[in-house]
Amino acid sequence: MYDQHYAEVFRYVRARVGTHAEAEDLTSDIFCKAVAGLKSYRPIRPSALPWLYTIAAHRVADHYRAARPTSELDLAAQVADSGPNPVDVVASRDLVRQVWELSKCLPASQRRALWLRYGEELELREISVQMGRSVEAIKLLVHRAVRGIRNRMPGTDGITGWSPIAGGAGVIRP
């Protein structure tokens, strides 16, 4: 059987693995498995080649399965989460809530400009169209709103350079 089918089995394996040496190793292993399984082999066809191809297909699959990289669960637990720290997320949400609560003390036009800019994430040009004012007037309204919130914010003491809202949608910039 070995002499008769070695070339066909080797070609089958060689077409599916990376190197000539791997193909030789796997082919010899396939014939070892065939010899070990001769007692259970029931010849349905005149040739044993289909049976050998079946063994070869399983052996090639096993080869790739064994070569697949695996990671230990302990190593996976040590991988740092790339997402935001949950404590920071909660603190950020609380700060956003506090900012919007403080915005209730602002004049209606400042509060609306602030909401359209940071809550709705609209451009200044879009806000100016909605509010019927110039872009410069909208900039001034947003600036005054931020300054008014900054002055009312506990613990900021009117620190310049601090903005309660940046980039919109609840993002806080220290």
Tokens for 29?
């292993």
DSSP 173: B
Q: Which residues contact 6 (CB under 8 A, 6 or more apart)?
A: 27, 31
CA dihedral over 139, 145, 147, 149, signed as positive or negative:
negative
Percentage, residues of the chain above pLDDT 70 = 83
pLDDT on residue 46? 76
The answer to whether 118 and 169 have CB atoms below 8 angstroms apart is yes
Does pLDDT of 24 surpass 90? yes
How many C-beta neighbours within 10 Å does residue 80 have? Answer: 5
Task: State the Cα–Cα distance between residues 106 and 130, nearest whole angstrom.
Answer: 19
Q: Which of 126-135, 151-160, 162-171 has the lowest mean pLDDT?
A: 162-171
Does pLDDT of 90 surpass 80? yes
Task: State the Cα–Cα distance between residues 128 and 145, nearest whole angstrom.
Answer: 16
Q: Which residues contact 135 (CB under 8 A, 6 or more apart)?
A: 124, 125, 128
Tell me what the mean pLDDT of segment 46-56 comes to: 87
Tokens for 70?
């695996």
The answer to whether 169 and 119 have CB atoms below 8 angstroms apart is yes
Over the stretch 95-129, which tens digit does the pLDDT of each residue have?
888 988 898 999 999 999 999 998 889 999 999 99
Which is more confidently placed, 124 or 48? 124
